[in-house]
A and B are shown apart, each in its own frame.
Chain A
Amino acid sequence: MSDELLVVRCQLGEREAFAELVRAWHGPVWTYVRRMLGPVEADDVSQEVWLAVVRGLPRLKEPGRFAPWLFTIARRAVANRLREEYARPEVAAGDGPVSPDATVALVDRAELVEGLSGLPAREREILVLFYLEDLSVEDCAEICAVPVGTVKSRLSRARRMLRDHLTEKGYRR
Protein backbone atom coordinates (compact mmCIF):
# COMPACT_ATOMS: atom_id res chain seq x y z
CA MET A 1 0.00 0.00 0.00
CA SER A 2 1.38 3.42 -0.94
CA ASP A 3 2.31 6.00 1.67
CA GLU A 4 -0.22 8.38 0.18
CA LEU A 5 -3.07 5.91 0.63
CA LEU A 6 -1.95 5.18 4.19
CA VAL A 7 -1.80 8.89 4.99
CA VAL A 8 -5.24 9.53 3.49
CA ARG A 9 -6.67 6.66 5.54
CA CYS A 10 -4.98 8.14 8.64
CA GLN A 11 -6.47 11.55 7.87
CA LEU A 12 -9.87 9.93 7.67
CA GLY A 13 -9.31 8.67 11.21
CA GLU A 14 -8.45 4.99 10.66
CA ARG A 15 -6.29 3.99 13.57
CA GLU A 16 -5.12 0.77 11.91
CA ALA A 17 -3.72 2.81 9.03
CA PHE A 18 -1.65 4.83 11.49
CA ALA A 19 -0.29 1.61 12.97
CA GLU A 20 0.72 0.50 9.46
CA LEU A 21 2.37 3.85 8.85
CA VAL A 22 4.37 3.54 12.08
CA ARG A 23 5.39 -0.02 11.18
CA ALA A 24 6.58 1.16 7.76
CA TRP A 25 8.47 4.25 8.89
CA HIS A 26 9.57 3.68 12.48
CA GLY A 27 12.78 1.98 11.37
CA PRO A 28 14.01 4.77 9.05
CA VAL A 29 13.11 7.45 11.60
CA TRP A 30 14.80 5.59 14.43
CA THR A 31 17.89 4.97 12.29
CA TYR A 32 18.12 8.65 11.35
CA VAL A 33 17.74 9.79 14.95
CA ARG A 34 20.19 7.18 16.17
CA ARG A 35 22.81 8.22 13.62
CA MET A 36 22.38 11.85 14.60
CA LEU A 37 22.13 11.56 18.37
CA GLY A 38 23.28 8.10 19.38
CA PRO A 39 21.39 5.12 20.79
CA VAL A 40 20.62 6.64 24.20
CA GLU A 41 18.32 9.35 22.92
CA ALA A 42 16.95 7.53 19.86
CA ASP A 43 13.83 6.12 21.56
CA ASP A 44 12.82 9.35 23.28
CA VAL A 45 13.34 11.53 20.23
CA SER A 46 11.59 9.01 17.95
CA GLN A 47 8.59 9.13 20.25
CA GLU A 48 8.62 12.93 20.08
CA VAL A 49 8.70 12.68 16.30
CA TRP A 50 5.68 10.35 16.16
CA LEU A 51 3.71 12.50 18.59
CA ALA A 52 4.35 15.48 16.32
CA VAL A 53 3.24 13.36 13.36
CA VAL A 54 -0.05 12.46 15.11
CA ARG A 55 -0.68 16.14 15.81
CA GLY A 56 0.30 17.36 12.36
CA LEU A 57 -1.09 14.60 10.14
CA PRO A 58 -4.67 15.95 9.88
CA ARG A 59 -3.26 19.17 8.41
CA LEU A 60 -0.80 17.55 5.96
CA LYS A 61 -1.84 19.00 2.59
CA GLU A 62 0.17 16.72 0.32
CA PRO A 63 -0.14 13.13 1.54
CA GLY A 64 2.11 12.02 -1.33
CA ARG A 65 4.97 14.01 0.20
CA PHE A 66 4.83 12.17 3.50
CA ALA A 67 8.49 11.08 3.66
CA PRO A 68 10.06 14.56 3.35
CA TRP A 69 7.47 15.91 5.79
CA LEU A 70 8.25 13.14 8.28
CA PHE A 71 11.99 13.73 8.06
CA THR A 72 11.46 17.48 8.39
CA ILE A 73 9.77 16.78 11.72
CA ALA A 74 12.51 14.34 12.71
CA ARG A 75 15.15 16.86 11.75
CA ARG A 76 13.47 19.53 13.87
CA ALA A 77 13.41 17.19 16.86
CA VAL A 78 17.07 16.30 16.33
CA ALA A 79 18.00 19.97 15.84
CA ASN A 80 16.36 20.83 19.15
CA ARG A 81 18.65 18.32 20.83
CA LEU A 82 21.68 19.47 18.89
CA ARG A 83 20.98 23.20 19.25
CA GLU A 84 24.06 23.83 21.32
CA GLU A 85 26.21 21.90 18.92
CA TYR A 86 24.71 23.80 15.97
CA ALA A 87 25.47 27.11 17.67
CA ARG A 88 29.19 26.42 17.54
CA PRO A 89 31.20 27.12 14.37
CA GLU A 90 30.70 24.32 11.83
CA VAL A 91 34.33 23.20 11.85
CA ALA A 92 34.31 22.88 15.62
CA ALA A 93 31.11 20.86 15.71
CA GLY A 94 32.72 17.54 15.00
CA ASP A 95 32.57 15.84 18.35
CA GLY A 96 29.12 14.34 17.99
CA PRO A 97 27.67 12.10 20.65
CA VAL A 98 27.31 9.12 18.34
CA SER A 99 29.48 6.14 19.02
CA PRO A 100 29.69 3.14 16.72
CA ASP A 101 28.76 -0.26 18.09
CA ALA A 102 29.82 -3.74 17.07
CA THR A 103 26.46 -4.83 15.68
CA VAL A 104 26.20 -1.99 13.22
CA ALA A 105 29.77 -2.60 12.13
CA LEU A 106 28.61 -5.91 10.65
CA VAL A 107 26.28 -4.37 8.06
CA ASP A 108 27.28 -3.68 4.46
CA ARG A 109 27.93 0.00 4.96
CA ALA A 110 29.93 -0.51 8.12
CA GLU A 111 32.69 1.88 7.14
CA LEU A 112 30.22 4.64 6.41
CA VAL A 113 28.34 4.09 9.65
CA GLU A 114 31.50 4.05 11.69
CA GLY A 115 32.89 7.10 9.95
CA LEU A 116 29.68 9.07 10.41
CA SER A 117 30.21 9.33 14.13
CA GLY A 118 33.29 11.46 13.56
CA LEU A 119 31.61 14.03 11.30
CA PRO A 120 30.00 17.35 12.25
CA ALA A 121 26.23 17.27 12.64
CA ARG A 122 25.35 18.93 9.30
CA GLU A 123 27.57 16.66 7.24
CA ARG A 124 26.45 13.60 9.20
CA GLU A 125 22.83 14.54 8.64
CA ILE A 126 23.12 14.93 4.89
CA LEU A 127 24.95 11.61 4.52
CA VAL A 128 22.33 9.81 6.63
CA LEU A 129 19.44 11.26 4.65
CA PHE A 130 20.99 10.73 1.23
CA TYR A 131 22.76 7.40 1.64
CA LEU A 132 21.13 5.60 4.56
CA GLU A 133 17.55 6.79 3.99
CA ASP A 134 17.88 6.81 0.18
CA LEU A 135 16.18 10.20 -0.14
CA SER A 136 16.64 12.29 -3.27
CA VAL A 137 18.70 15.48 -3.31
CA GLU A 138 15.43 17.42 -3.72
CA ASP A 139 13.89 15.73 -0.66
CA CYS A 140 17.07 16.38 1.34
CA ALA A 141 16.87 20.05 0.34
CA GLU A 142 13.25 20.24 1.46
CA ILE A 143 13.97 18.51 4.76
CA CYS A 144 17.04 20.64 5.52
CA ALA A 145 15.32 23.81 4.24
CA VAL A 146 18.28 24.69 2.01
CA PRO A 147 18.66 24.98 -1.80
CA VAL A 148 19.52 21.88 -3.85
CA GLY A 149 22.93 23.39 -4.62
CA THR A 150 23.69 23.64 -0.92
CA VAL A 151 22.77 19.99 -0.45
CA LYS A 152 25.12 19.00 -3.26
CA SER A 153 28.00 21.05 -1.89
CA ARG A 154 27.33 19.78 1.63
CA LEU A 155 27.27 16.20 0.31
CA SER A 156 30.52 16.77 -1.50
CA ARG A 157 32.16 18.22 1.61
CA ALA A 158 30.74 15.42 3.76
CA ARG A 159 32.11 12.75 1.41
CA ARG A 160 35.52 14.40 1.45
CA MET A 161 35.50 14.67 5.24
CA LEU A 162 34.34 11.07 5.55
CA ARG A 163 37.06 9.90 3.17
CA ASP A 164 39.70 11.82 5.13
CA HIS A 165 38.32 10.50 8.38
CA LEU A 166 38.35 6.90 7.17
CA THR A 167 41.84 7.32 5.73
CA GLU A 168 43.00 8.55 9.12
CA LYS A 169 41.46 5.48 10.70
CA GLY A 170 43.46 3.28 8.34
CA TYR A 171 40.81 2.25 5.82
CA ARG A 172 42.17 1.84 2.27
CA ARG A 173 40.18 1.29 -0.96
Chain B
Amino acid sequence: MNPDDMIGKLSRPLSLRSRIGAVVALLGGLVGAVGVGLLWATEPALPGRTHLAFGLLVALCLAWTGYGSWALTRRTPLFALDQVIAGWLSVVATGLLTAAAVAVAAVRGTWVGVTGVAVAVTMTAVALVVLVRARARHAALLRRRRELEGRAGRP
Protein backbone atom coordinates (compact mmCIF):
# COMPACT_ATOMS: atom_id res chain seq x y z
CA MET B 1 0.00 0.00 0.00
CA ASN B 2 1.48 3.36 -0.97
CA PRO B 3 0.93 6.64 0.90
CA ASP B 4 -1.80 7.82 -1.49
CA ASP B 5 -3.76 4.58 -0.97
CA MET B 6 -3.47 5.13 2.76
CA ILE B 7 -4.69 8.74 2.45
CA GLY B 8 -7.65 7.43 0.44
CA LYS B 9 -8.50 4.95 3.20
CA LEU B 10 -8.39 7.75 5.77
CA SER B 11 -10.70 10.02 3.80
CA ARG B 12 -13.74 9.30 5.94
CA PRO B 13 -12.26 10.15 9.37
CA LEU B 14 -10.58 13.15 7.77
CA SER B 15 -13.78 14.44 6.21
CA LEU B 16 -14.95 17.77 7.66
CA ARG B 17 -18.49 16.83 6.70
CA SER B 18 -18.54 13.66 8.80
CA ARG B 19 -17.06 15.45 11.84
CA ILE B 20 -19.52 18.33 11.64
CA GLY B 21 -22.26 15.74 11.06
CA ALA B 22 -21.38 14.14 14.39
CA VAL B 23 -21.48 17.56 16.09
CA VAL B 24 -24.91 18.27 14.57
CA ALA B 25 -26.15 14.85 15.73
CA LEU B 26 -24.95 15.48 19.27
CA LEU B 27 -26.28 19.05 19.46
CA GLY B 28 -29.55 18.28 17.71
CA GLY B 29 -30.15 15.31 19.96
CA LEU B 30 -29.30 17.15 23.17
CA VAL B 31 -31.20 20.34 22.40
CA GLY B 32 -34.09 18.33 20.99
CA ALA B 33 -34.28 16.12 24.09
CA VAL B 34 -34.30 19.12 26.44
CA GLY B 35 -36.77 21.07 24.27
CA VAL B 36 -39.22 18.21 23.79
CA GLY B 37 -38.83 17.20 27.43
CA LEU B 38 -39.69 20.75 28.49
CA LEU B 39 -42.81 20.81 26.31
CA TRP B 40 -43.80 17.41 27.64
CA ALA B 41 -43.33 18.44 31.28
CA THR B 42 -45.23 21.72 30.94
CA GLU B 43 -48.32 20.45 29.15
CA PRO B 44 -51.11 20.43 31.74
CA ALA B 45 -53.15 17.45 30.56
CA LEU B 46 -52.21 14.93 27.90
CA PRO B 47 -53.78 11.68 26.67
CA GLY B 48 -51.80 8.45 27.08
CA ARG B 49 -50.80 8.20 23.43
CA THR B 50 -49.37 11.72 23.47
CA HIS B 51 -47.25 10.82 26.50
CA LEU B 52 -45.99 7.83 24.56
CA ALA B 53 -45.18 9.99 21.52
CA PHE B 54 -43.27 12.52 23.64
CA GLY B 55 -41.40 9.69 25.33
CA LEU B 56 -40.41 8.19 21.97
CA LEU B 57 -39.27 11.59 20.68
CA VAL B 58 -37.10 12.16 23.74
CA ALA B 59 -35.63 8.65 23.41
CA LEU B 60 -34.89 9.29 19.73
CA CYS B 61 -33.15 12.58 20.55
CA LEU B 62 -31.10 10.89 23.28
CA ALA B 63 -30.11 8.16 20.81
CA TRP B 64 -28.76 10.84 18.43
CA THR B 65 -26.92 12.45 21.36
CA GLY B 66 -25.34 9.12 22.19
CA TYR B 67 -24.33 8.52 18.58
CA GLY B 68 -22.80 11.99 18.27
CA SER B 69 -20.87 11.57 21.54
CA TRP B 70 -19.59 8.15 20.50
CA ALA B 71 -18.53 9.40 17.06
CA LEU B 72 -16.66 12.37 18.50
CA THR B 73 -14.92 10.49 21.30
CA ARG B 74 -14.13 7.18 19.57
CA ARG B 75 -14.09 7.69 15.83
CA THR B 76 -13.00 11.14 14.82
CA PRO B 77 -12.13 13.91 17.25
CA LEU B 78 -12.34 17.54 16.24
CA PHE B 79 -9.42 19.56 14.90
CA ALA B 80 -9.07 23.23 15.85
CA LEU B 81 -11.17 24.65 13.01
CA ASP B 82 -13.85 22.00 13.61
CA GLN B 83 -13.92 22.97 17.29
CA VAL B 84 -14.58 26.61 16.41
CA ILE B 85 -17.39 25.60 14.03
CA ALA B 86 -18.78 23.23 16.68
CA GLY B 87 -18.58 26.03 19.25
CA TRP B 88 -20.60 28.41 17.07
CA LEU B 89 -23.17 25.69 16.31
CA SER B 90 -23.48 25.01 20.06
CA VAL B 91 -24.05 28.69 20.84
CA VAL B 92 -26.70 29.03 18.13
CA ALA B 93 -28.48 25.80 19.13
CA THR B 94 -28.49 26.52 22.86
CA GLY B 95 -29.47 30.15 22.21
CA LEU B 96 -32.52 28.95 20.28
CA LEU B 97 -33.29 26.51 23.08
CA THR B 98 -33.08 29.30 25.65
CA ALA B 99 -35.46 31.48 23.62
CA ALA B 100 -37.92 28.59 23.34
CA ALA B 101 -37.62 27.82 27.08
CA VAL B 102 -38.26 31.46 27.98
CA ALA B 103 -41.35 31.47 25.73
CA VAL B 104 -42.66 28.26 27.34
CA ALA B 105 -41.97 29.59 30.84
CA ALA B 106 -43.75 32.87 30.03
CA VAL B 107 -46.85 31.07 28.71
CA ARG B 108 -47.05 28.36 31.37
CA GLY B 109 -45.58 30.22 34.33
CA THR B 110 -44.83 27.02 36.24
CA TRP B 111 -41.69 26.07 38.19
CA VAL B 112 -40.96 23.42 35.54
CA GLY B 113 -40.76 26.18 32.92
CA VAL B 114 -38.39 28.21 35.08
CA THR B 115 -36.24 25.12 35.62
CA GLY B 116 -36.18 24.64 31.84
CA VAL B 117 -34.92 28.21 31.40
CA ALA B 118 -32.21 27.61 33.99
CA VAL B 119 -31.11 24.42 32.20
CA ALA B 120 -31.07 26.16 28.81
CA VAL B 121 -29.11 29.14 30.16
CA THR B 122 -26.57 26.78 31.73
CA MET B 123 -26.20 24.95 28.42
CA THR B 124 -25.70 28.28 26.62
CA ALA B 125 -23.05 29.30 29.14
CA VAL B 126 -21.23 25.98 28.61
CA ALA B 127 -21.48 26.47 24.84
CA LEU B 128 -19.96 29.96 25.16
CA VAL B 129 -17.08 28.60 27.23
CA VAL B 130 -16.52 25.87 24.61
CA LEU B 131 -16.49 28.51 21.85
CA VAL B 132 -14.07 30.82 23.69
CA ARG B 133 -11.69 27.95 24.41
CA ALA B 134 -11.89 26.69 20.83
CA ARG B 135 -11.12 30.16 19.45
CA ALA B 136 -8.20 30.56 21.84
CA ARG B 137 -6.78 27.17 20.84
CA HIS B 138 -7.24 27.98 17.14
CA ALA B 139 -5.53 31.35 17.58
CA ALA B 140 -2.63 29.77 19.50
CA LEU B 141 -2.09 27.21 16.75
CA LEU B 142 -2.22 29.92 14.07
CA ARG B 143 0.42 31.91 15.98
CA ARG B 144 2.59 28.81 16.29
CA ARG B 145 2.20 28.10 12.57
CA ARG B 146 3.30 31.65 11.70
CA GLU B 147 6.31 31.31 14.02
CA LEU B 148 7.36 28.03 12.45
CA GLU B 149 6.82 29.32 8.92
CA GLY B 150 8.87 32.41 9.76
CA ARG B 151 11.63 30.24 11.14
CA ALA B 152 11.55 28.00 8.06
CA GLY B 153 11.70 31.01 5.73
CA ARG B 154 14.66 32.59 7.54
CA PRO B 155 17.97 32.09 5.74
Contact = CB atoms under 8 A, between A and B. Distances in A.
Do A and B associate with each other? yes
A56 B76 CA distance: 9
B82 A13 contact: yes
Interface in B59-79: 74-79
Given A13-B81, A15-B14, A54 B3 contact: no
Contact of B13 (A19, A54, A63): A54
B52 interface: no
B142 A54 contact: no
A30 B141 CA distance: 29
Contacts of A19: 7
Interface in A76-120: none
A5 B152 contact: yes
A8 B144 contact: yes
B149 A5 contact: yes
B2 A54 contact: no
Interface residues of A, number: 30
A58 B6 CA distance: 19
A23 B3 contact: yes
Contact of B79 (A13, A23, A27, A43): A13
A142 to B, nearest CB: 22
B2 A11 contact: no
A10 B152 CA distance: 17
A58 B80 contact: yes
Contacts of A15: 14, 16
Interface stretch (A45-53, A65-73, A149-157): A45-53
B10 interface: yes
B135 interface: no
B3 A22 contact: yes
B103 interface: no
A9 interface: yes
Given A4-B148, A51-B13, A58-B78, A43 B142 contact: no
B45 to A, nearest CB: 49
A98 to B, nearest CB: 18
B145 interface: yes
A27 B6 CA distance: 11
A11 B79 contact: yes
A2 B148 contact: yes
Nearest to A54: B13
Contacts of B10: 18, 22, 50-51, 54
Contacts of B80: 11-13, 58
B6 A55 contact: no
A169 interface: no
A59 interface: yes
13 contacts: A2-B148, A5-B145, A8-B145, A8-B148, A12-B79, A12-B138, A13-B79, A18-B10, A18-B14, A22-B3, A50-B6, A54-B14, A63-B144
Interface of A: 1-2, 4-5, 8-13, 15, 18-19, 22-23, 26-27, 30, 43, 46-47, 50-51, 54-59, 63
